[in-house]
Amino acid sequence: MAKIGVFTCWCGENIARHIDVERVSKAIESLPGVHCSMNYKYMCSEPGQSLIIDQIKSLGLTGVVVASCSPHMHLKTFRAAAQLAGVNPYMVEMANIREQCSWVHADKEEATAKAIELIRISVEKLRHNRPLQPISVPITKKALVIGGGVAGIQAALDIAAAGHEVILVEKEPSVGGKMAGLSETFPTLDCSQCILTPRMVEVNQHPKIRLMTYSEVEKVEGYIGNFSVTIRQKARYVDVNKCTGCGTCWNGCPNKRIPNSFDFNLGNRTAIYIPFPQAVPARPVIDSSRCIHFKNGKCGICEKNCAAGAINFNDEDKLITEEVGAVVVATGYQLYSIGKEQSNPNLSGYGEYGYGKYKDVIDSLQFERLISASGPTGGEPKRPSDGRVPQKIVFIQCVGSRDNAKGVSYCSKICCMYTAKHTMLYKHKVHDGEAHVFYMDIRSGGKKYDEFVRRAIEQDGALYHRGRVSKITEEEIDGVRKLVVRGADTLTGKPVTVEADMVVLACAMAPTDGATALAQKLSVGYDEYGFLSESHPKLRPVETNSAGVFLCGACQGPKDIPESVAQASAAAAKVLVMFSQDHLTREPEIAHVDESLCAACCACVQACPYEAISIEEIVDRKGNHVKNTSRVNPGLCMGCGTCVAVCPSKSIDLEGFTEEEVYAEIESLLS
């Protein structure tokens, strides 16, 4: 027989102003199962909680209803109090008579009547509640970090520094990501490589970090604390253990004119190559699609030259399976494609800017390589068409960004800053050069950021025009190919035409290719542009709705380096919080299958958004097949209840919100 105590809160004046709390208490007393009904001014306060604990102990209550605020506010508080007094915490129900009653009703009579109804429903549910035990899940204290850019490197180093093993997976032959290719960084103009390469070396040398470059995540199974990840290590054709990184192979390779994707095709590389001299690991890969040996079986110069005997033309992709407890996604970004050809049918490209048609119209990452000391021109800004140093460069911001018609609606956030940096670096190298910028707004929020943009304008003399560029055409003027940029300056209200030697387009940031496919493997949500979704934009910014999977860097949204690093450390902290326990405690309010009723129709398997339900076979003692049934993985289930709604045989139920409990609530309301 249930012995229920009902505790009604005044919440100071919040509830008592519109609800006659004393009358509510009186009305509840006579309900079936209710043993005591009391009220107090602040039930969540120390004396309020003591009241509940004392009543449980003295009257031997088996369940408690607290009529007060939203369960979001204080359910945990009252569950903890009940547990202290020896009552199962899942035998505590809350009736929300504040947000859903006193705050929204002006009439005291009606509000009081409604409060009584709300409490009556909760009492009826509690009469049908069963005590539940929290679920304990073991944890594998090893993390997987996907993406070896600055965010991934930071997250890996932080987790490893706390003493846990980390697997860092990078799809390119070297770690470093986009940052390794940048020239200098805003707002301090310190050299990108100087601050990043030591950390790249560190992830390679750290005893707790296993670095897997030229690898991709193939499959993810399991649940929080217990993921099983399959990683595809692509064939490198070079034995990294034998190779010493001496460089004989790539220096001797006769196939020297392959566009280097690390330089965004502005420079060339060989068929056996390292993407850039500071690559980590400093071990080459063979591009089998371009290597002469793979075409006709000849050449093999690298194999002959290699003193270490590290070349292996018979190398194959390897699949490696690892058990990890947490996953950090740091897959980063790429630039929105400006050309006419688009992968996404919603985008249509900027044909009018002539990207891909005119050689001297380049994007901002290409310009980074042009002014980087490690770039194809050694840091001298030479235009791609004829190698002349441009005397006049036009920078165009918001290419693709903030453009609902052709591009994406969001602001890419970093373009204002790097464009200011580009003008500065250019003016530092070509003193008498002219740097024109076409912008719509300047968004330079951040420590020392606006000062930086003003410095570009005031000290380095960058010429800023407020307005978008309409069209770029290539014309020959006085024997030189010039790009005629037609824009406007809305501040003077006049059209502006600039005859430029080079045009740099600050393109929108987009998630990297394959980010959405990976998100699907991890059951992580993503938005219409493919940026991965955080669990809560303010309070859970690095968690995802898939437990045990965390986010950092530009895969979540446009971000600069300081923000990516901060978020990476935040994600690492969240992983370490998980790893600080030996077992994970999870709420027991999850789906449960009555296996004797289940017909294994798979409706729940199809419906589950977390892939938490699988079909299992029931066998008798002799191993003979009895029947199939669906079974819920308690580590994966998030308790959403979708499966309950679709089950045709009503054999699946949600603990804490069973059909019986919910119908009891509804019936009490109708009676």
Sheet holding 471-477, edge to edge: 471-477, 480-489, 494-500
Q: What is the 3-state secondary structure (H, E, C) of 367-422?
A: HHHHHCCCCCCCCCCCCCCCCCCCCEEEEEEEECCCCCCCCCCCCCCCHHHHHHHH
* Residues 436-475 within binding reach of another protein (CB under 8 A): 454, 457-458, 461, 463, 465-466
Task: For another protein, give the closer residue by CB, 461 or 588.
Answer: 461
- C-beta of 120 vs 465, nearer to another protein: 465
Q: DSSP secondary structure string, 263-300?
A: GTTSSEE-SEE-SSTT-SS---EE-TTT-HHHHHS---
Beta strands in 142-192 (DSSP E): 142-146, 165-169, 184-185, 190-191
Residue 10 contacts residue 42 (beta carbons within 8 Å): yes
Please, what is the minimum distance in Å from the beta carbon of residue 383 to another protein?
Answer: 21
**Min CB(345)–another protein separation in Å:** 39
Residues 351, 356, 362, 363: is their CA dihedral positive or negative? positive
Q: How far is the CB of 293 from another protein (least distance, A)?
A: 56
Number of residues located near another protein, criterion CB under 8 A? 13
Q: Which of residues 153-172 bind another protein (CB under 8 A)?
A: none
Applying CB under 8 A, the span of 232-240, 317-325, 490-498, 636-644 interacting with another protein comes to 490-498
CB-nearer residue toward another protein: 17 or 466: 466
The candidate with the shortest Cα–Cα distance to 70, out of 50, 94, 93, is 94
Q: CB of 489: closest distance to another protein in angstroms?
A: 6
The residues, ordered by sequence, that sit 6+ positions from 112 with a Cβ below 8 Å of its Cβ are: 19, 20, 23, 24
* 137: alpha, beta or left? (left if phi > 0; alpha if psi -120 to 50): beta
Nearer to another protein, 491 or 619 (CB): 491
Beta-strand pair 142-146/326-329:
parallel
Question: What is the nearest approach in angstroms of another protein to the Cβ of residue 491?
Answer: 5
Q: How many CB atoms lie within 10 A of CB 197?
A: 19
List of residues 6+ apart from 161 with CB closer than 8 A: none
Shortest separation between residue 458's beta carbon and another protein, angstroms: 5
CA 323 → CA 222, 225, 227, 318, 613, distances in Å? Answer: 9, 9, 6, 17, 20
Strand, coil or helix: 134: coil
* Closest separation in Å from C-beta 380 to another protein: 24
User: Cβ of residue 389: shortest distance to another protein, in angstroms?
Assistant: 19
The residue (of 385 and 444) whose beta carbon lies closer to another protein is 444
Cβ neighbours of residue 320 closer than 8 Å, sequence gap 6 or more: 212, 230, 231, 232, 233
Backbone angles phi, psi at 411, to 5 degrees: -90, 135
- Nearest-approach distance from CB 463 to another protein, in angstroms: 7
Overall residue count recorded for the chain in this entry: 671
Q: Which is nearer to another protein, 453 or 509 (CB)?
A: 453
User: Which CB sits closer to another protein, 14 or 444?
Assistant: 444
Binding residue for another protein, selected from 70, 473, 492, 581, defined by CB under 8 A: 492
Q: Of the candidates 399, 496, 518, 519, which one interacts with another protein according to CB under 8 A?
A: 496
Our CB check for another protein shows the closer of 13 and 441 to be 441
Task: Say which DSSP state 553 is in.
Answer: G
Least distance (Å) from another protein to the CB of residue 493? 8
Closest approach, Cβ 457 to another protein, in A, equals: 6
493 lies in the binding site for another protein (CB under 8 A): yes
- Report in angstroms how near the CB of residue 642 gets to another protein at its nearest: 53
Applying CB under 8 A, the span of 125-133, 261-269, 313-321, 489-497 interacting with another protein comes to 489-497
Beta carbon of residue 490, minimum distance to another protein (angstroms, whole number): 10
Report whether the peptide linkage leading into residue 187 is cis, meaning its omega lies within 30 degrees of zero. Answer: yes
Binding range to another protein, per CB under 8 A, among 119-127, 138-146, 492-500, 588-596 = 492-500
- Helices 561-579/150-161 angle, 10° precision: 30
Q: Which of 373, 480, 491, 645 contacts another protein by CB under 8 A?
A: 491
| HEC profile of 490-512 | CCCCEEEEEEECEEEEEECEEEC
Q: What's the rounded Cα separation, in Å, for the pair 265 and 369? A: 10
- Which of these ranges, 303-311, 347-355, 487-495, 663-671, lies near another protein under the rule CB under 8 A? 487-495
Q: Name the residue nearer to another protein (CB basis): 65 or 485.
A: 485
Whose Cβ is closer to another protein: residue 457's or residue 566's?
457
121 vs 420, which CB is nearer to another protein? 420
Cβ 278 vs Cβ 182: under 8 Å: no
Q: Which stretch binds another protein (CB under 8 A): 149-157, 311-319, 491-499, 560-568?
A: 491-499
Residue 139 or 417: the one with the smaller Cβ distance to another protein is 417
Residue 484 in the binding site for another protein (CB under 8 A): no
**Choice between 118 and 420, CB closer to another protein:** 420
Site membership for another protein, residue 391 (CB under 8 A): no
When binding is defined by CB under 8 A, the residue of 184, 403, 434, 655 that contacts another protein is 434
* Nearer CB in complex with another protein: 336/438: 438
Q: Taking the complex as a whole, how short is the minimal distance between the CB of residue 505 and another protein, in angstroms?
A: 22
Helix 46-59 and helix 71-84: axis angle, to 10°?
Answer: 50
* Closest by CA position to 281, among listed 239, 320, 309: 239
Contact residues toward another protein (CB under 8 A) are: 434, 454, 457-458, 461, 463, 465-466, 489, 491-493, 496
